[in-house]
Protein backbone atom coordinates (compact mmCIF):
# COMPACT_ATOMS: atom_id res chain seq x y z
CA UNK A 1 0.00 0.00 0.00
CA UNK A 2 2.80 2.39 0.90
CA UNK A 3 4.71 1.51 -2.26
CA UNK A 4 1.61 2.16 -4.37
CA UNK A 5 1.15 5.60 -2.79
CA UNK A 6 4.82 6.34 -3.30
CA UNK A 7 4.62 5.47 -6.98
CA UNK A 8 1.55 7.67 -7.44
CA UNK A 9 3.33 10.57 -5.76
CA UNK A 10 6.35 10.19 -8.03
CA UNK A 11 4.16 9.97 -11.12
CA UNK A 12 2.21 13.06 -10.04
CA UNK A 13 5.43 15.03 -9.53
CA UNK A 14 6.72 14.00 -12.94
CA UNK A 15 3.43 14.93 -14.62
CA UNK A 16 3.41 18.33 -12.89
CA UNK A 17 6.97 19.01 -13.97
CA UNK A 18 6.13 17.81 -17.50
CA UNK A 19 3.11 20.12 -17.68
CA UNK A 20 5.18 23.13 -16.66
CA UNK A 21 7.85 22.35 -19.23
CA UNK A 22 5.20 21.73 -21.90
CA UNK A 23 3.50 25.05 -21.16
CA UNK A 24 6.86 26.81 -21.55
CA UNK A 25 7.33 25.22 -24.99
CA UNK A 26 3.85 26.28 -26.09
CA UNK A 27 4.55 29.81 -24.86
CA UNK A 28 7.83 29.93 -26.79
CA UNK A 29 6.10 28.75 -29.99
CA UNK A 30 3.46 31.46 -29.83
CA UNK A 31 6.06 34.13 -28.97
CA UNK A 32 8.20 33.17 -31.97
CA UNK A 33 5.27 33.35 -34.38
CA UNK A 34 3.56 36.40 -32.92
CA UNK A 35 0.31 35.31 -34.57
CA UNK A 36 -0.72 31.70 -35.09
CA UNK A 37 -3.52 29.24 -34.38
CA UNK A 38 -4.08 26.12 -32.35
CA UNK A 39 -3.49 23.75 -35.26
CA UNK A 40 -0.15 25.31 -36.14
CA UNK A 41 1.23 25.10 -32.61
CA UNK A 42 -0.09 21.59 -31.98
CA UNK A 43 1.20 20.20 -35.29
CA UNK A 44 4.72 21.52 -34.75
CA UNK A 45 4.94 20.20 -31.21
CA UNK A 46 3.55 16.81 -32.22
CA UNK A 47 6.17 16.50 -34.93
CA UNK A 48 9.04 17.62 -32.68
CA UNK A 49 8.11 15.40 -29.76
CA UNK A 50 7.23 12.29 -31.73
CA UNK A 51 10.36 12.49 -33.85
CA UNK A 52 12.41 12.50 -30.67
CA UNK A 53 10.98 9.23 -29.40
CA UNK A 54 10.67 5.72 -30.80
CA UNK A 55 7.49 3.67 -30.76
CA UNK A 56 4.89 1.84 -32.78
CA UNK A 57 2.08 3.36 -34.81
CA UNK A 58 -0.40 2.76 -32.04
CA UNK A 59 1.80 4.55 -29.52
CA UNK A 60 2.28 7.51 -31.86
CA UNK A 61 -1.45 7.88 -32.35
CA UNK A 62 -2.05 7.91 -28.61
CA UNK A 63 0.80 10.38 -28.02
CA UNK A 64 -0.52 12.63 -30.80
CA UNK A 65 -3.86 13.00 -29.05
CA UNK A 66 -2.20 13.52 -25.68
CA UNK A 67 0.09 16.27 -27.01
CA UNK A 68 -2.79 18.11 -28.72
CA UNK A 69 -4.84 17.96 -25.54
CA UNK A 70 -1.97 19.46 -23.57
CA UNK A 71 -1.48 22.20 -26.16
CA UNK A 72 -5.15 23.10 -25.83
CA UNK A 73 -4.91 23.25 -22.02
CA UNK A 74 -1.71 25.30 -22.11
CA UNK A 75 -3.20 27.83 -24.55
CA UNK A 76 -6.22 28.29 -22.28
CA UNK A 77 -3.96 28.94 -19.29
CA UNK A 78 -1.82 31.45 -21.22
CA UNK A 79 -4.96 33.21 -22.38
CA UNK A 80 -6.33 33.38 -18.83
CA UNK A 81 -3.20 35.11 -17.50
CA UNK A 82 -3.02 37.55 -20.41
CA UNK A 83 0.08 36.19 -22.14
CA UNK A 84 -1.87 35.53 -25.36
CA UNK A 85 -5.19 36.71 -26.78
CA UNK A 86 -7.64 34.66 -28.82
CA UNK A 87 -9.63 36.15 -31.69
CA UNK A 88 -11.78 33.34 -33.03
CA UNK A 89 -9.20 30.88 -34.35
CA UNK A 90 -6.30 33.32 -34.25
CA UNK A 91 -3.89 33.36 -31.33
CA UNK A 92 -2.02 36.64 -30.76
CA UNK A 93 1.05 37.09 -28.57
CA UNK A 94 0.59 39.76 -25.87
CA UNK A 95 3.76 39.38 -23.85
CA UNK A 96 4.72 38.14 -20.41
CA UNK A 97 3.17 40.04 -17.50
CA UNK A 98 5.42 42.67 -15.95
CA UNK A 99 4.86 44.62 -12.76
CA UNK A 100 3.94 48.27 -13.12
CA UNK A 101 6.24 51.09 -12.03
CA UNK A 102 4.09 51.67 -8.97
CA UNK A 103 4.27 48.00 -8.07
CA UNK A 104 8.04 48.02 -8.50
CA UNK A 105 8.37 51.02 -6.17
CA UNK A 106 6.13 49.32 -3.63
CA UNK A 107 8.23 46.17 -3.73
CA UNK A 108 11.46 48.16 -3.41
CA UNK A 109 10.08 50.03 -0.40
CA UNK A 110 8.96 46.75 1.14
CA UNK A 111 12.42 45.28 0.56
CA UNK A 112 14.08 48.28 2.23
CA UNK A 113 11.69 48.01 5.17
CA UNK A 114 12.34 44.31 5.61
CA UNK A 115 16.10 44.88 5.38
CA UNK A 116 15.91 47.56 8.08
CA UNK A 117 13.82 45.29 10.30
CA UNK A 118 16.36 42.53 9.84
CA UNK A 119 19.21 44.89 10.74
CA UNK A 120 17.42 46.04 13.90
CA UNK A 121 16.68 42.47 14.96
CA UNK A 122 20.30 41.49 14.43
CA UNK A 123 21.38 44.42 16.62
CA UNK A 124 18.88 43.38 19.29
CA UNK A 125 20.14 39.81 19.13
CA UNK A 126 23.74 40.98 19.50
CA UNK A 127 22.74 43.16 22.46
CA UNK A 128 21.00 40.21 24.13
CA UNK A 129 24.07 38.04 23.62
CA UNK A 130 26.26 40.70 25.23
CA UNK A 131 23.87 40.94 28.17
CA UNK A 132 24.01 37.18 28.58
CA UNK A 133 27.81 37.26 28.54
CA UNK A 134 27.81 40.02 31.15
CA UNK A 135 25.52 38.09 33.50
CA UNK A 136 27.59 34.94 33.15
CA UNK A 137 30.75 36.90 33.86
CA UNK A 138 29.08 38.39 36.94
CA UNK A 139 28.15 34.94 38.24
CA UNK A 140 31.68 33.67 37.70
CA UNK A 141 33.11 36.77 39.39
CA UNK A 142 30.93 36.25 42.48
CA UNK A 143 31.86 32.56 42.64
CA UNK A 144 35.58 33.40 42.57
CA UNK A 145 35.38 36.01 45.33
CA UNK A 146 33.66 34.54 48.40
CA UNK A 147 35.36 37.09 50.65
CA UNK A 148 33.73 39.93 48.77
CA UNK A 149 30.34 38.26 49.08
CA UNK A 150 30.84 37.74 52.79
CA UNK A 151 31.83 41.37 53.29
CA UNK A 152 28.81 42.41 51.27
CA UNK A 153 26.48 40.24 53.34
CA UNK A 154 27.74 41.70 56.62
CA UNK A 155 28.23 45.29 55.51
CA UNK A 156 27.69 46.70 58.98
CA UNK A 157 26.06 45.99 62.29
CA UNK A 158 22.65 47.23 61.14
CA UNK A 159 22.84 46.18 57.48
CA UNK A 160 20.88 43.19 56.23
CA UNK A 161 22.08 40.96 53.36
CA UNK A 162 19.29 42.09 51.03
CA UNK A 163 20.30 45.73 51.46
CA UNK A 164 23.94 44.96 50.69
CA UNK A 165 23.23 43.33 47.32
CA UNK A 166 21.99 45.27 44.31
CA UNK A 167 19.59 43.02 42.42
CA UNK A 168 19.19 43.11 38.66
CA UNK A 169 17.70 44.88 36.84
CA UNK A 170 18.34 48.39 38.23
CA UNK A 171 19.22 51.93 37.20
CA UNK A 172 21.89 54.25 38.59
CA UNK A 173 21.46 58.03 38.71
CA UNK A 174 24.62 60.18 38.96
CA UNK A 175 24.85 63.92 39.65
CA UNK A 176 27.11 66.42 41.44
CA UNK A 177 27.78 65.80 45.12
CA UNK A 178 26.41 69.24 46.09
CA UNK A 179 23.24 68.93 43.98
CA UNK A 180 19.88 69.17 45.70
CA UNK A 181 17.70 66.12 45.07
CA UNK A 182 14.01 65.86 45.90
CA UNK A 183 12.49 62.38 45.80
CA UNK A 184 8.78 61.68 45.94
CA UNK A 185 7.55 58.11 46.31
CA UNK A 186 4.10 56.87 45.44
CA UNK A 187 2.57 56.06 48.80
CA UNK A 188 0.12 53.56 47.31
CA UNK A 189 2.46 50.94 45.89
CA UNK A 190 5.96 52.48 46.24
CA UNK A 191 6.79 51.28 42.74
CA UNK A 192 7.30 54.72 41.22
CA UNK A 193 9.49 57.64 42.25
CA UNK A 194 9.75 61.24 41.08
CA UNK A 195 13.20 62.85 41.12
CA UNK A 196 13.96 66.58 40.96
CA UNK A 197 17.58 67.64 40.55
CA UNK A 198 19.07 71.10 40.88
CA UNK A 199 21.95 70.17 38.57
CA UNK A 200 22.40 68.02 35.46
CA UNK A 201 22.26 64.29 36.00
CA UNK A 202 22.80 61.06 34.08
CA UNK A 203 20.91 57.78 34.17
CA UNK A 204 22.73 54.46 33.64
CA UNK A 205 21.16 51.06 33.23
CA UNK A 206 22.53 47.82 34.63
CA UNK A 207 24.29 46.90 31.38
CA UNK A 208 26.29 50.13 31.49
CA UNK A 209 27.30 49.34 35.06
CA UNK A 210 28.43 45.84 34.08
CA UNK A 211 30.53 47.37 31.32
CA UNK A 212 32.12 49.83 33.74
CA UNK A 213 32.93 46.91 36.04
CA UNK A 214 34.84 45.33 33.17
CA UNK A 215 32.68 42.21 32.98
CA UNK A 216 32.05 42.68 29.25
CA UNK A 217 34.05 45.41 27.57
CA UNK A 218 31.77 45.68 24.55
CA UNK A 219 28.38 45.99 26.23
CA UNK A 220 26.86 49.10 24.60
CA UNK A 221 25.70 52.01 26.66
CA UNK A 222 21.96 52.20 26.04
CA UNK A 223 20.83 54.70 28.65
CA UNK A 224 21.07 58.26 27.27
CA UNK A 225 22.12 61.31 29.20
CA UNK A 226 19.13 63.10 30.66
CA UNK A 227 20.03 66.73 31.49
CA UNK A 228 17.72 69.14 33.24
CA UNK A 229 15.88 71.58 30.97
CA UNK A 230 18.20 74.44 31.98
CA UNK A 231 21.31 72.46 30.98
CA UNK A 232 22.03 73.53 27.40
CA UNK A 233 25.79 73.23 27.08
CA UNK A 234 26.16 69.64 28.30
CA UNK A 235 28.78 70.70 30.86
CA UNK A 236 29.57 68.49 33.79
CA UNK A 237 29.52 65.21 31.85
CA UNK A 238 33.12 64.34 32.73
CA UNK A 239 32.52 65.09 36.39
CA UNK A 240 29.41 62.90 36.38
CA UNK A 241 31.29 60.05 34.75
CA UNK A 242 34.02 60.35 37.38
CA UNK A 243 31.42 60.32 40.14
CA UNK A 244 29.79 57.24 38.64
CA UNK A 245 33.14 55.46 38.39
CA UNK A 246 33.88 56.27 42.02
CA UNK A 247 30.49 54.95 43.09
CA UNK A 248 31.01 51.73 41.15
CA UNK A 249 34.51 51.26 42.55
CA UNK A 250 33.12 51.24 46.11
CA UNK A 251 29.90 49.42 45.29
CA UNK A 252 29.00 46.13 46.89
CA UNK A 253 28.78 42.96 44.77
CA UNK A 254 25.89 42.70 42.36
CA UNK A 255 23.45 39.85 42.72
CA UNK A 256 21.54 38.04 39.99
CA UNK A 257 19.17 36.35 42.43
CA UNK A 258 15.59 37.59 42.36
CA UNK A 259 13.70 38.46 45.53
CA UNK A 260 10.48 40.21 46.44
CA UNK A 261 11.89 43.61 45.46
CA UNK A 262 13.34 42.62 42.10
CA UNK A 263 10.67 44.44 40.11
CA UNK A 264 11.49 47.78 41.70
CA UNK A 265 14.00 50.12 40.04
CA UNK A 266 16.89 51.01 42.36
CA UNK A 267 18.80 54.26 42.21
CA UNK A 268 22.07 55.22 43.87
DSSP codes joined into one string, 61-113? HHHHHHHHHHHHHHHHHHHHTTSEEEETTEEEE-------HHHHHHHHHHHHH
Low-confidence ranges of the chain (pLDDT < 70): 1-18, 52-59, 145-166, 216-268
- Residue 267: the pLDDT is 40
Sign of CA dihedral 231, 234, 239, 245: positive
- Residue 225: the pLDDT is 41
- Residue 111: the pLDDT is 95
Longest dimension (CA), the chain: 109
Domains and CATH numbers, the chain: 2-93 (1.10.10.10), 122-255 (1.20.140)
| Alpha carbons 206 and 212: distance in angstroms, whole number | 10
- Residue 90: the pLDDT is 87
| Alpha carbons 70 and 28: distance in angstroms, whole number | 15
Nearest CA to 172 out of 219, 220, 240 is that of 240
| Alpha carbons 206 and 58: distance in angstroms, whole number | 84
- Residue 242: the pLDDT is 54
- Residue 156: the pLDDT is 47
Amino acid sequence: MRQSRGRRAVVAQREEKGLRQFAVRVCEKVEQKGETDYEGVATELVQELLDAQAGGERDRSSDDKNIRRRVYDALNVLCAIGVIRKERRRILWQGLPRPSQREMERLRAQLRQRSEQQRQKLEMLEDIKLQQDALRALLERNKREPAVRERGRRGGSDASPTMQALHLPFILVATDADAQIDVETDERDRHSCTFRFSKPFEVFDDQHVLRRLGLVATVPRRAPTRPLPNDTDGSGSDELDAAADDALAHHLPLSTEADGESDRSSAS
